[in-house]
C-alpha cells in the first residue's frame, strides 16, 4: 500500500470531529464516514498521517493560545505535582499525643493555591466521640496528595527520556514473527 501524503477533506473532517468531540478517535472516524470494524487498523493509519496531525494542531492552536498552556507551564506543573509531599510537609503537624493533623492556618494565598494544585482529594469527616458530658466533636481531614510517580513519568515522557515505542526491524514479516513466537510458546511435545 502506498503512503497517503495528501490531506483530503475526509482527513480534515476526522481532525475537526476529533477536536470537537473531546478527543475520541473512534467516534471522530465514524462521524467522518469511515467504517470501523473490531479489527480495523484504519484509525491508526489515519491519525498518523502528517496532514491529520497538522490539522489537529491547527485546530487546537487557538484554544492552546487562549489557555496560555506552554511546554514550560506543563513542565512546571508536573514538577509541582512531583514535589507534592515536600510542598505539603510544612502543613503537617503533630499534636501533644503524637497524632498527625493538617494545619493550613499560617499559609498565604499563594501557598494555599500551590497546595490545592497538588491535592487530588480533600475530605472532612466530623463525628462525636464519647457520650454525655465527656462527648467531644472530632474533625478528621483526609488529604490525598498527587502521585509523584505519575507526574515524574509523564514529565520524563514529555522530555523524551522514555521510549514507549517498539521498533521492529529485520527481514522477517510481522506475521512470520508472530507465527514463530506462538510456536515457541507452545509446550514441547515428547516423542
pLDDT of 32-73, one tens digit each? Answer: 998 888 777 888 889 999 999 999 999 888 877 776 767 788
Model confidence pTM above 0.75? no
Q: Per-residue pLDDT for 144 more than 70?
A: yes
Percentage of residues in the chain having pLDDT higher than 90: 12
How far is C-alpha 85 from the geometric centre of its chain's CA atoms?
20
At 43, list the grid cell.
Answer: 484509525
8 A C-beta contact, residue 143 and residue 88: yes
Q: Which domains does the chain have, with CATH numbers?
A: 1-67 (1.10.10), 73-151 (no CATH)
Task: Check residue 123 and report its DSSP letter.
Answer: E
Amino acid at each position: 500500500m502506498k503512503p497517503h501524503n495528501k490531506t483530503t477533506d475526509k482527513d480534515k473532517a476526522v481532525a475537526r470531529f476529533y477536536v470537537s468531540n473531546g478527543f475520541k478517535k473512534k467516534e471522530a472516524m465514524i462521524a467522518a464516514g469511515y467504517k470501523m470494524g473490531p479489527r480495523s487498523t484504519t484509525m491508526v493509519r489515519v491519525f498518523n498521517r502528517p496532514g491529520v496531525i497538522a490539522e489537529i494542531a491547527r485546530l487546537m492552536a487557538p484554544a492552546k493560545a487562549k489557555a496560555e498552556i506552554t511546554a514550560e507551564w506543563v513542565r512546571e506543573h508536573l514538577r509541582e505535582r512531583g514535589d507534592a509531599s515536600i510542598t505539603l510537609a510544612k502543613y503537617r503537624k503533630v499534636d501533644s499525643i503524637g497524632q498527625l493533623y493538617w494545619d493550613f492556618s499560617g499559609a498565604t494565598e499563594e501557598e494555599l493555591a500551590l497546595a490545592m494544585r497538588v491535592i487530588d482529594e480533600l475530605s472532612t469527616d466530623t463525628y462525636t466521640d464519647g457520650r454525655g458530658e465527656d462527648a467531644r466533636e472530632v474533625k478528621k481531614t483526609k488529604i490525598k496528595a498527587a502521585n509523584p510517580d505519575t507526574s515524574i513519568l509523564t514529565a520524563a515522557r514529555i522530555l523524551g527520556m522514555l521510549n514507549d515505542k517498539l521498533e521492529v526491524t529485520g527481514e522477517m514479516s510481522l506475521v512470520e514473527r508472530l507465527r514463530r513466537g506462538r510456536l515457541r510458546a507452545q509446550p514441547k511435545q515428547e516423542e
